[in-house]
Each structure stands twice: as C-alpha cells, then as structure tokens.
Amino acid sequence: MLPIRKLAFVVNGQKSGAPELAKTLVRIARAAGVETKETEGFPLADGFLKGWDACCVIGGDGTLLGAAKEAARESVPIIGVNRGSLGFLTTFSAEEAATSLPALLAGDFRLAHRSILDCSTGPGRHDLALNDVLIKAEINSRIVRLEVVADDDLVTEYLCDGLIFATPTGSTAYNLSAGGPLVHPDAEVIAMTPICPHTLSNRSIIFRQGVKLKVYNRTEEGHLLVALDGQRNLTVCEDSPVEITISHLKLPLVQRRDHSHFSIVRTKLKWSGGLVEKRPATG
C-alpha cells in the first residue's frame, strides 16, 4: 500500500486513556514527517476527511461508526484503535497501535472493504449505515406489523417488535443479540432478523447482493422509527416504504497483514471448543 503522509485523528475523549494515547500516536506520526489533525467531535462533518490519506479512530466501535460515513464517502481508510469494550472494528489495541504505527505509516498494511447499507425513508430522507438499519415502532412499547418485499416479490408480513437489517460487519452487533447469524465480512449480503416475532417460524433471512428491499408499515395508527447504526434516526414519510439496498460505497478498514477474522471473533465472543478429557470411571 502507499505510505500515509496525512493522518487525521478522531478521539473519543470520554474513553479512558484515549486522549493520552492520541498524544503518543500524534507524536510518532509527526516524527515520521506525517501531517496530522485532530478532533473529538463525531459523527464527522462532511468534508472533514477530504484530501487525507487515512483516519485513526481512538475509542470504541461507536466512535468508529461516527466516522464511517465520511470515510466511505471520501474513500479514506480507517485505523481503529480500541479504547472501548468489545471492539470488533477497532481491532488495534493501544499497545499494538503504538508499536505498529510506524509500519502502517510506511504502507505495511492491508485494506478490508466493508459493505454499507443505503437507506431511504422518503424523498430527501436518505442515509448510510455500516452496521445495521433498525425499523421499529416510534413508541417503544408497541409492536409493529411490517410487510417486506424483495425485488417486488412479497417475502411475508411480520408482527414483531421490529426488524434488523444488518451488514456482515453488523452481524456481530444487534443482529447477533436478536438471534441472527454471524456473517463473514467478505460476504456482500444483507441479514434480516425479526425481533421477538409472534410467529415462531419467522427466522433470519439472508438476501443477496443487489437486492432491493422495501418495508411497508401495516401497523394501524402506528408510526415507525428508523435507526441507523444506533446513532442516527430517520423519520418515515407517510405512505412511503423504507427502502434498503447495499450501497456502491464501501468503508476501507486498515488491518495488519496477519489479521484473522475468526481469531477476533473467538476472542471477542469468548468462544472455546477445547475437548474436556474424560476421566476413567472408578469403582
């Protein structure tokens, strides 16, 4: 990869140790002759990353989600440094970031290009989501009746607490908590998972790349809330469906050359599959 000569920093000042780590990484970058700029504000303003080679996000996955839309639009790779909890996206630890940064600045890394969802709720109401689109009742205590159509073909009508439409990246988030599948990040698909469906046979559905999904509100006297990445909400126009597709944009994510997706999953989800040795029976 090409060397990084201009590096923007997005720092979540509320995360323990993040400001101090930022100072260390900025010092390393400047010592290597790299131009830097910093912000503690996110989501990022339009144009913040325009003309920059990369963006280092120091915080948790929520911080990275706040920078993802701008990074995707400007095709700026993100280096995610974890100062949060799980950190599926912010894969570099503080120690790894400090030791790896000189090599990263020299171009010794690989890029993963993550799929993004394009969501529209009516004329002029449009946004992007890296993790997921959640459709639910505007009032939390209400259930919703949602009709789903894929490429003009009726899927079914759901009576449930809501529907989650997740990217492979977002499959480890709300989708997983709701019983949805884990999806490999290279699979360009959409996972749709109903939340507490009233029909027990309603399960997750995986839709292909290029699918055009429409969700119609069939709830009597009920309004919908559409949440993107758990951070931004869209209001739904009356008589307009919620439309979801896979965007032509992708998020470039910086990874070490020896990065292993399943190693991250095993560690973060605390998987263990070791066999327990059976002790011989005693008389």
Average pLDDT of the residues of the chain: 94
Judge contact between 42 and 10, C-beta under 8 A: yes
Calculate the dihedral angle through the C-alpha atoms of 265, 271, 277, 282, rounding to the nearest 10 degrees.
180
CATH pick for 6-109+256-268 out of 3.40.50.10330, 3.90.850.10, 3.40.50.720, 3.40.50.1820: 3.40.50.10330
Q: Show the CA angle centred on residue 138, arms to residues 134 and 140, nearest 5°.
A: 85
* CATH architecture for segment(s) 116-248: Sandwich (2.60)
Q: What's the pLDDT at 85?
A: 75
Catalytic residues: 61
Residue 276's pLDDT band (cuts 50, 70, 90): low
pLDDT in tens, 33-56: 999 999 999 999 999 999 999 999
Whole-angstrom Cα distance, residue 184 to residue 127? 24
Whole-angstrom Cα distance, residue 142 to residue 152? 28
Q: Stretch 76-101: mean pLDDT, rounded?
A: 92
On the question of pLDDT at 234 being above 70, the answer is yes
What are the boundaries of each domain within the chain? 6-109+256-268, 116-248
Residues in a beta bridge with 235: 225
On the question of pLDDT at 277 being above 70, the answer is no
Q: Show the CA angle centred on residue 171, arms to residues 169 and 176, nearest 5°.
A: 150
Residue 279's pLDDT band (cuts 50, 70, 90): low
Whole-angstrom Cα distance, residue 3 to residue 96? 19
pLDDT in tens, 52-76: 999 999 999 999 999 999 999 999 9
Nearest to 9, CA basis, from 47, 35, 32, 33? 35
Same fold, 6-109+256-268 and 116-248: no
Q: What's the pLDDT at 84?
A: 74
Q: What's the pLDDT at 153?
A: 98
pTM of this prediction?
0.92
